[in-house]
Amino acid sequence: MAHLEVQPRKKSSMWIWLIIGLLIVAVILFFLMRSNNKDQSVIATTDTIASTSKPIVAADPDWNNVNFNAPDTQYEEVTGKGIVVRSNDQYTIYSLGENILFATDKSTLEGDADSQLKQIAASLNKRFPHAQIGVYGHADAKGTSDHNSQLAAERAAAVKIWLIQHGDVAENKISVHSLGETKPLADNNNAAGRQQNRSVEIVAFPGK
């Protein structure tokens, strides 16, 4: 009987197929990662375009930090005695401190208020047609602080109503603020000073 010698299977062929398989997996992973990077790049580009295409919205006015001692400004349309115009690069202030707009402890406009407010309204519409308008009410130091704060708010509201009804200023552009007796325009220790403190200041905030 012939003796058959069985040769063991060579292991080298297994290693070749294993290497080929690993190369195939590596190629597949490479293309998957490349495709994912492209998707991320598209998303990032889209986000950048979206963020840069958003409209720039002006910040709301900081009504609590108005500097009422801003430098004086001259507007040719404002000629009324006692109207002082001040401005900086953020807002313009129309002060009616020397005009007697209100009687003691009253919030009803009186005296020469109409003619003075007409000049201010005309200036607002000419120079700041799209501005936000803040009306600040003042009171003299007589009475309690709470009472004067309420009275000043009522005076500012009276001017707001006038600007809407007679000054052609849109209601949604006007806000009312009370300074009460906290920022007097003149000396509260004499009658003339207290008269000046029964007044308002109108601030136009154009934004950017």
The answer to whether residues 94 and 145 belong to one domain is yes
The answer to whether residues 34 and 107 belong to one domain is no
Q: Quick check: is 150 in a domain?
A: yes
Beta strands in the chain (DSSP E): 84-87, 92-95, 132-138, 174-180, 200-205
Q: What is the pLDDT of residue 75?
A: 96
Burial class (CB in 10 A: 0-12, 13-18, 19+), 124: buried
The answer to whether residues 113 and 40 belong to one domain is no
Contact 85, 101 (CB under 8 A): no
Q: Quick check: is 59 in a domain?
A: no
Query: Can you say whether the dihedral through the CA atoms of 183, 65, 147, 106 is positive or negative?
Result: positive
Q: What is the pLDDT of residue 41?
A: 47
The answer to whether residues 25 and 105 belong to one domain is no
Q: What is the pLDDT of residue 96?
A: 85
The answer to whether residues 70 and 28 belong to one domain is no
Distance CA 207, CA 140 (A): 31
Please tell me whether residue 75 adopts helix, strand or coil conformation. Answer: coil
The answer to whether residues 106 and 155 belong to one domain is yes
Q: Quick check: is 37 in a domain?
A: yes
The answer to whether residues 74 and 36 belong to one domain is no
Burial class (CB in 10 A: 0-12, 13-18, 19+), 193: middle
Range of the domain at 91: 64-205
Q: What is the pLDDT of residue 186?
A: 79
The number of folded domains in the chain is 2
The answer to whether residues 119 and 188 belong to one domain is yes
Q: Quick check: is 58 in a domain?
A: no
The answer to whether residues 27 and 71 belong to one domain is no
Q: What is the pLDDT of residue 180?
A: 86
The answer to whether residues 33 and 87 belong to one domain is no
Q: pLDDT tens digits, the chain, 208 residues: what are they?
A: 455 454 555 555 666 767 777 777 776 766 666 655 544 543 443 344 333 333 333 457 899 899 988 999 999 999 988 899 999 999 999 998 667 688 888 888 887 788 899 999 999 999 999 999 999 988 888 878 899 899 999 989 999 999 999 999 999 999 999 998 887 777 777 887 777 777 889 999 997 6
